[in-house]
């Protein structure tokens, strides 16, 4: 379980393509400092399991084909900048919201509108998960806990917008993301549980 508060910007330093998976080596000195084999670290919002720790600055993780297909991790290459977060401790503050690290779908950045003190980012919202997203609700974008500032529909389909403060722009990869870039999306798990209960009602 995570909180969606990015601890560190990391970098993909190696990517080994295997027959049905890939092994990533990710540099992130902070999140690696107390990591060990089997620990969970979210990479762009995807919960990955540490296989090995390299020089106390990097870790390796295996990513299966399903994860590569369902998330934007398959598009990562050496040099890609990624958001990193260690699993939450039970005695820590919940600064964001409950995040599982299980990506529900991918969107793409449709536009960026800068303002004096923040920036509005519009993201395409895939139809299968659009019903779970509400204005002023929580959504995770590339592992970042954000508040939905508005919802809408245009010629390409549903979209949502988030308003990013300077800290988010500086300390996460959304500050570098370009129009057209894919992003991992995880909706608030509570919405999915409520729907399930109603269907079985």
Tell the residue number behind the tokens 């720790």, with chain if given: 53
Those residues whose C-beta lies under 8 Å from the C-beta of residue 77, and which sit 6 or more positions away, are 12, 15
Count of CA atoms in the C-beta half-sphere (13 A) of 188:
19
Look at strands 105-114 and 144-154 and give their pairing.
unpaired
Cα angle, residue 177 at apex, residues 139 and 161 outer, rounded to 5°:
35
Q: Which residues of 133-142 are buried (b: 16+ CB within 10 A; e: fewer)?
A: beeebbbbbb
Domains along the sequence of the chain with CATH: 8-86 (2.40.30.20), 105-200 (2.40.30.20)
Q: SS3 breakdown of the chain: % helix, strand, coil, rounded to 5?
A: 20, 45, 35
- pLDDT at position 201 is 63
Tens-digit pLDDT string for the chain (201 aa): 899 999 999 999 999 998 889 999 999 999 999 999 999 999 999 999 999 999 999 999 999 999 999 999 999 999 999 999 999 887 777 777 888 899 999 999 999 999 888 999 999 999 999 999 999 999 999 999 999 999 999 988 999 999 999 999 999 999 999 999 999 999 988 888 888 888 876
């Amino acid at each position: 379980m995570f909180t969606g508060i990015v601890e560190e910007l990391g970098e993909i330093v190696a990517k080994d393509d295997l027959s049905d998976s890939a092994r990533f080596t990710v540099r992130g000195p902070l999140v690696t400092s107390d990591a060990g084999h089997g620990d969970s670290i979210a990479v762009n919002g995807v919960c990955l399991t540490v296989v090995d720790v390299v020089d106390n600055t990097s870790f390796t993780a295996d990513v299966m084909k399903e994860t590569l297909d369902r998330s934007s991790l398959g598009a990562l290459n050496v040099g890609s900048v990624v958001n990193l977060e260690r699993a939450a401790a039970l005695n820590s503050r919940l600064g964001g919201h409950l995040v599982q690290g299980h990506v529900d779908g991918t969107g793409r950045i449709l536009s960026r509108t800068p303002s004096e003190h923040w920036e509005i980012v519009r993201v395409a919202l895939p139809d299968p998960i659009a019903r779970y997203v509400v204005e002023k609700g929580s959504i995770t974008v590339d592992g970042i806990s954000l508040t939905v500032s508005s919802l809408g529909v245009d010629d390409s389909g549903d979209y949502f917008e988030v308003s990013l403060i300077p800290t988010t722009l500086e300390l996460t990869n959304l500050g570098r993301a370009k129009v057209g870039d894919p992003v991992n999306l995880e909706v608030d798990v509570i919405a999915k549980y409520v729907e399930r209960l109603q269907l079985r009602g």
